[in-house]
Amino acid sequence: MNDSSHTRVSSSERDRALDELAQHFALGRLSVEELEERSSRVWRAITVRQLAETFADLPAAPASAEGSYLTDGALPRTVVRVGAIVVSAGVCQFVFGNWWWLLLLLAIPAVMTLGLRNR
């Protein structure tokens, strides 16, 4: 009677799911649009089943030390942050027509250094 697929998900499970999505994005399995759409689904998920449906067409991630189906996301978070900087700089440059926005790309080494240091 206690079907685990109907169990409500916690905030920490959502966070781990978002980390796993970031890893799939970093590996090139998801586009930016797919990452945004699936991230939105993770935030709307109420049950374990709904959360699992977000990953139905993706390969399973290796289990972390806790035995979870999600993995540690320290490096992918850094990759996602760098990607966000690149996309933001490109969009701002296109929208405002000023190449000075591309100076945002200079923030990438700082983000990479801080992200790897916090690993």
**What digits encode the pLDDT tens for the residues 27-75?**
888 888 888 888 889 889 999 899 889 999 998 865 443 434 444 445 5
Do residues 46 and 99 share a domain?
Answer: no
Residues 11 and 24 in one domain: yes
Cβ neighbours, 10 Å, residue 64: 15
Same domain, 46 and 104: no
Q: What's the confidence (pLDDT) of residue 92?
A: 74
Stronger pLDDT, 19 or 119, i.e. the higher one: 19
Total structural domains within the chain: 2
Domain span at 96: 73-119
Please check whether residues 65 and 107 belong to one and the same domain. no
Ranges of H-type helices in the chain:
11-26, 32-44, 48-53, 74-96, 108-117
Whether residues 35 and 81 share a domain: the answer is no
Co-location of 58 and 84 in the same domain:
no
Q: How confident is the model at residue 1 (pLDDT cuts 50, 70, 90)?
A: very low
Q: pLDDT class for 111, splitting at 50, 70, 90?
A: low
Are 4 and 20 found together in one domain? yes
Kindly report the pTM of this predicted structure. 0.51
Shared domain check, 47 and 9: yes
Question: Are 37 and 18 a contacting pair, CB within 8 Å?
Answer: no
Same domain, yes or no: 49 and 13: yes
Pair 83, 59 in one domain: no
84 and 30 share a domain? no
89, two tokens = 């700089």
